[in-house]
A and B are shown apart, each in its own frame.
Chain A
Amino acid sequence: AAGVIQSPRHLIKEKRETATLKCYPIPRHDTVYWYQQGPGQDPQFLISFYEKMQSDKGSIPDRFSAQQFSDYHSELNMSSLELGDSALYFCASSTNPREALNTEAFFGQGTRLTVV
């Protein structure tokens, strides 16, 4: 079965550079979530989209932005990278949580971003 695809799997950037992470949800999933997991930390919710509109926002820095496109894939753009942005970034997808009784979010394998 198709899963959530994230690219790239690994990314190394220098401080002050920009990075773009991509997420391709499971077919027919219209909701995408982004999480950030720092070293030794639990995943923290950043932002989510439903039908190309932002549906919820967590602790996402102003230097980060994200969007969902017409094909439902999503991109997380990170500018002015800092050492503290080094983390594992997960994307998850689901069907509309307001419609399905048993909506479950499926996680991608993550993108490991290292800022040097």
Chain B
Amino acid sequence: AQKVTQAQTEISVVEKEDVTLDCVYETRDTTYYLFWYKQPPSGELVFLIRRNSFDEQNEISGRYSWNFQKSTSSFNFTITASQVVDSAVYFCALSEYGGATNKLIFGTGTLLAVQP
């Protein structure tokens, strides 16, 4: 069975601090996708990144970076120099590839509060 674990339920940082959100996944599939979504207080799900299981290169996009390690089944997300606007719930998610659907299995989310 597929499972996503986000052990950090809440994180509070002060603006300009770096913060890393952890994500550990379980799957028996050899091909799969991992995602990060941001959900601000307004409620919409904002897509941040998708990574397939064959691509273990780390990625950096502005203040965001992602560290994918298949050996530890982890896909961690780091925000550098956090800002108040980064305050949101962040979800890590997993989907299988090539199945009947690409339904997402979400983690329970990490609430990030960035204090000014």
Residues of A within 8 A of B (CB): 31, 33, 35, 41-45, 48, 50, 55-56, 58, 88, 90, 94, 97-98, 102-107, 109-110, 112
B108 adjacent to A48 (CB under 8 Å): no
The answer for the CA separation of A102 and B45 in the assembled complex, in Å, is 19
The answer for the CA separation of A43 and B80 in the assembled complex, in Å, is 27
| Main SS class of interface, A | strand
Chain B contacts of A105 at CB under 8 A? 95, 102, 104
Interface bin, chain B? 20 to 34
Instruction: State the 6 A-B residue pairs at the shortest beta-carbon distance, nearest first.
Output: A42-B106, A97-B102, A56-B101, A107-B45, A45-B103, A48-B101
B104 adjacent to A31 (CB under 8 Å): no
A55 adjacent to B44 (CB under 8 Å): no
A45 adjacent to B105 (CB under 8 Å): yes
Chain A contacts of B109 at CB under 8 A? 42
Beyond A45-B105, A58-B103, A103-B102: 12 further Cβ-contacts under 8 Å? A43-B106, A48-B103, A55-B100, A56-B101, A97-B99, A97-B102, A98-B98, A104-B50, A105-B104, A107-B37, A107-B44, A109-B44
Chain B contacts of A42 at CB under 8 A? 91, 106-109
